[in-house]
Amino acid sequence: MIVALQLENLGVIPAARLELSPGLTVVSGETGAGKTMFVTALDLLTGARAESHVVRAGAERAVVEGVFDLNGADPSVAERIVEAGGEAEDEAIIARIIPRAGRARATAGGRTVPLGVLKDAGHGLVSMHGQSEQMTLRQAATQRELLDTAGGEPVARALADYREVYTRWRTLSAEHERLHATAAERAERIGYLTASLETIDRIRPQAGEDVELTALAARLGAAEDLKSAVSGAHDLLVGSDWEETANAADLINRAAAEVSRAAATDDTLSPLAAAVTDAALRLADTAAELSGYLQEFDDLGAMSLEDAEARRAELGSLAAFGPDVESVLAFEQRAGAELLELQNSESSLGDMDARVEAAAAAVEAAGDTLRTAREHAAAEFAAAVGAELAALSMPRARLSFEIAPAAPHALGADTVRMLFTAHDAVAPGDIGKLASGGELSRVMLAIEVVKAGHSAFPTFVFDEVDAGVGGRAAIEIGRRLAILAQHSQVIVVTHLAQVAAWADQHLTIVKDDAADGAVSGVRSLDREGRLTELARMLGGMADSENALAHAAELLDTSTAEKAGFAEDGVTE
């Protein structure tokens, strides 16, 4: 609930601090005194757009600050403020600063926050009821949401079940449409992938084959020069089988023998003898490797330069799939996976019609269940609201809902219309067309009283809920507001004494036209102050004995009846 409001330079109010209490708080005052500023302040704290014209003339900025008790509020309110960086435990401080020029600023929990944070928090803290809210009651979406809320757990469960099957149906339908729309493109892609894989499989490249063939072709192309050079080097090292020539092996072996002979006499030469002997062995190993190199040409067998170049040409024909064999093999793997997926899609398309049809049937069944739950809730809710309207001096008024099948949508397979008639002689019709402003105000009040019997809300604010009514109807509006205040904090801006008499706290906006520009202040009234204000509201003459007597009668009667609420357990 709202614990306190601080107003600074808001309209005609230069400064005011209001300590608000639980129960029913009434705000009254003469026309033009600034009662609307009270509602404007709450609108600003719950995320309404800030207009510079609300800033008091001559002031640089207006400030509105509210302290909210979060006990009993939806936990999401505190979570949203904390998520935005503010502090919110048992209470939250929300403020708006509106400069005459420049951008307005919003804070929550001591932190500057986006306006959306105030809107989200406001939805869980304050339920505003004024002319703009009356307009929303005319909207089909609001009417459906109202009915679903009134339906409680049965409707909520049916709606959740419906949404689950509806989402599945929409997903399948979208996939079905996509498969049909891309059938020709998919067939073309399947053909391309199939032909590509067949081409690759026919040539069947091996990993690293292109690199090996490039090296082999280079070797075969220079085979004679390579063999001549290597063969000559071999002969120089170890000699030739075909002619007697000097060679390095003979020379180094002779050197090794000489050094070894000398080492037999002088053992200090032993290391040198071993080194020369080792050189001879390494020379022999090198000659053997050169001989092996020459043998490799013989081992190539039937692979000629022409064969190598022909195979390289075959591998080159796969260039469309990659610049080298490794890329071609990677393409082959990807293409195989994609082809399998596309073929599975083709298979899925075969039974997709049946799956979509089954999903559509599930949506239809869930929609029927949801419609039945809504119809049951509509009957109970309309009857309860009708009883409240009768108590509000509208005995012939009837509220009902027209629930008709419709194409499936995210919130059901039906349309919901709220119908209203104030008299038996008039057929029920759209509430927005048949209900006057005063009737619409009483309908909204009746709805909130009925809802309060099932779930409490922190704070209700009513502006002009008594518009167009008087007499007995006004007394019953006051009584219903007092009943609603048994569950929640209720704040009402009113000009009717019959309503104001039911207040637990009475605030009045007092205007001083003698000052330099209109100035208004806010006062909390005691019993004597209330009697004077009620007398003024009754006849415009606060010092009239008759008006004061009537005011006392209203105040005493309502006080006595409220005392009986708790004793009798009155909730409706």
- Tokens standing for 60? 């640089």
Closest residue by Cα to residue 117 from 79, 171, 69, 152: 79
> DSSP assignment of 190-244, as one string?
HHHHHHHHHHHHHH---TTHHHHHHHHHHHHHTHHHHHHHHHHHHHHHH--SSS-
Provide the β-strand partners of residue 521.
510
Q: What pTM was estimated for this model as a whole?
A: 0.64
Closest residue by Cα to residue 445 from 403, 474, 424, 416: 474
- Confidence at residue 509, expressed as pLDDT on a 0 to 100 scale: 84
Q: Dihedrals φ, ψ of 492, to 5°? A: -130, 130
- Confidence at residue 33, expressed as pLDDT on a 0 to 100 scale: 59
- Confidence at residue 131, expressed as pLDDT on a 0 to 100 scale: 62
Residue with token string 């003024």 = 536
- Confidence at residue 519, expressed as pLDDT on a 0 to 100 scale: 60
Sign of CA dihedral 327, 333, 337, 340: positive
- Confidence at residue 106, expressed as pLDDT on a 0 to 100 scale: 92
Closest residue by Cα to residue 432 from 135, 190, 186: 135
Residue type, 451: K
Cα-Cα end-to-end distance for the chain: 21
How many CB atoms neighbour CB 407 within 10 A?
Answer: 8
Q: Dihedrals φ, ψ of 125, to 5°? A: -115, -40
Residues of the chain with confidence (pLDDT) below 50: 572
Question: Are residues 562 and 541 in contact, defined by beta-carbon separation less than 8 angstroms?
Answer: no
Radius of gyration of the chain (CA): 47
Question: Measuring CA to CA, how many Å separate 306 from each of 213, 225, 296, 312, 325?
Answer: 11, 18, 18, 10, 20
Residue 94 to residue 87: CA distance in whole angstroms: 10
Q: Dihedrals φ, ψ of 570, to 5°? A: -70, 125
Q: Dihedrals φ, ψ of 8, to 5°? A: -140, 115
Strand pairing category for 91-99 and 105-108? antiparallel
| CB neighbour class for 172 (10 Å; exposed up to 12, middle 13-18, buried from 19) | middle
Q: Which 8-state DSSP code applies to residue 68?
A: E
Residue 384 to residue 572: CA distance in whole angstroms: 10
- Tokens standing for 282? 């390494």
Question: Are residues 465 and 131 in contact, defined by beta-carbon separation less than 8 angstroms?
Answer: no
Strand pairing category for 111-112 and 105-108? antiparallel
